[in-house]
Amino acid sequence: MLVLRHLRTPSPLPEVDAVVGSDGRARCAWGGMERDEQYQRYHDTEWARPVSGDPASVERELFERLSLEAFQSGLSWLTILRKRESFREAFANFDPHSVASFDETDFERLMNDAGIVRNRLKINATISNAKALLALPEGITLASLLAQNAPQTRRAADEPIPAQTPQSQQLAKALKKLGFSFVGPTTAYAMMQAVGVVNDHQPGCWLAAGATIHDHE
């Protein structure tokens, strides 16, 4: 029986390239499960696709992804996905300027919000990361940091999907140096997967080829 999990922790997944859904499309084992339409839609329309738009909207989107990946730590991605709209409402649509201005009243509001994951450390990290984002030196953005740490070579199809890579370790180190917290190499790699910096669609998945702008080791 396949286990429905985000690829942040790929080791529990069986060695299955893809699963064919009722629509005839083959998908990654984690995304091809039809127990949850929202999860399958996330796989088909969002995961591993580059974020685009004007610089401000890209940074907001990347900040949201980074925050949600941090909240996912220790949980399934499906749990976070189902709470995503509540997260957006609670965190002012992840607008960095708004989140950076959150005070003790906002913190208590978040800690009492049953619609999100009420974890003191993760909530504090999200607020402090918004401040770190606004304090980035001129010329440095989340988008540029991801691009700088994007792998240039492709992982062989028969190699297992890693939980972290040297590039995600470098990204996590760079983020921590710039004041970000709760962003380890595994969280950094999950974000790289989610926003198309690496192509981790499994062989046989209809999105395996050409779904991202970068491949990985």
- The residues carrying an active-site annotation are 42, 69, 77
Question: Do 166 and 212 touch, CB atoms closer than 8 A?
Answer: no
Centre a 10 Å sphere on the Cβ of residue 196 and count the other Cβ atoms it contains: 21
Task: Give 50-82 as a DSSP string.
Answer: ---SSHHHHHHHHHHHHHHHHHHTTS-HHHHHH
Going by C-alpha positions, the residue among 187, 212, 192 that lies closest to residue 149 is 192
> Maximum distance among all alpha carbons in the chain?
51
How far apart CA 3 and CA 177 sit, in angstroms, is: 36
How far apart CA 38 and CA 216 sit, in angstroms, is: 27
Q: Report DSSP state, residue 94.
A: G
Centre a 10 Å sphere on the Cβ of residue 42 and count the other Cβ atoms it contains: 18
Question: Do 22 and 34 touch, CB atoms closer than 8 A?
Answer: yes
